[in-house]
Chain A
Amino acid sequence: SQQGEEDPQALSIQEGENATMNCSYKTSINNLQWYRQNSGRGLVHLILIRSNEREKHSGRLRVTLDTSKKSSSLLITASRAADTASYFCATAAPGGNNRLAFGKGNQVVVIP
Chain B
Amino acid sequence: GAGVSQSPSNKVTEKGKDVELRCDPISGHTALYWYRQRLGQGLEFLIYFQGNSAPDKSGLPSDRFSAERTGESVSTLTIQRTQQEDSAVYLCASSLNGDTQYFGPGTRLTVL
Contact = CB atoms under 8 A, between A and B. Distances in A.
Contacts of A35: 103
Given A41-B106, A43-B91, A48 B99 contact: yes
Interface string A64-106: 0000000000000000000000001010100001111111110
B106 A98 contact: no
A66 to B, nearest CB: 20
B93 to A, nearest CB: 8
B25 interface: no
B43 A100 contact: yes
B59 A31 contact: no
Interface in B67-103: 89, 91, 93, 95, 98-103
B48 A97 contact: yes
Q: Size class of A's contact patch? A: 20 to 34
A6 to B, nearest CB: 8
A57 to B, nearest CB: 17
Given A41-B105, A42-B106, A33 B42 contact: no
Nearest to B6: A42
A97 B100 contact: no
A54 interface: no
B56 interface: yes
A101 B95 CA distance: 16
A100 B99 CA distance: 10
B26 interface: no
A97 B59 contact: no
Interface of B: 31, 33, 35, 37, 39-45, 48, 50, 56, 59, 89, 91, 93, 95, 98-106, 108
Interface of A: 4, 31, 33, 35, 40-45, 48, 88, 90, 92, 97-105
Closest 7 A-B residue pairs measured CB to CB? A102-B42, A42-B105, A43-B103, A102-B43, A98-B98, A99-B45, A97-B48
27 contacts: A31-B99, A33-B100, A41-B89, A41-B108, A42-B91, A42-B105, A43-B93, A44-B103, A45-B101, A45-B102, A45-B103, A48-B99, A88-B42, A90-B43, A97-B48, A97-B98, A98-B31, A98-B98, A99-B48, A100-B35, A100-B101, A101-B45, A102-B35, A102-B44, A103-B42, A104-B42, A105-B42
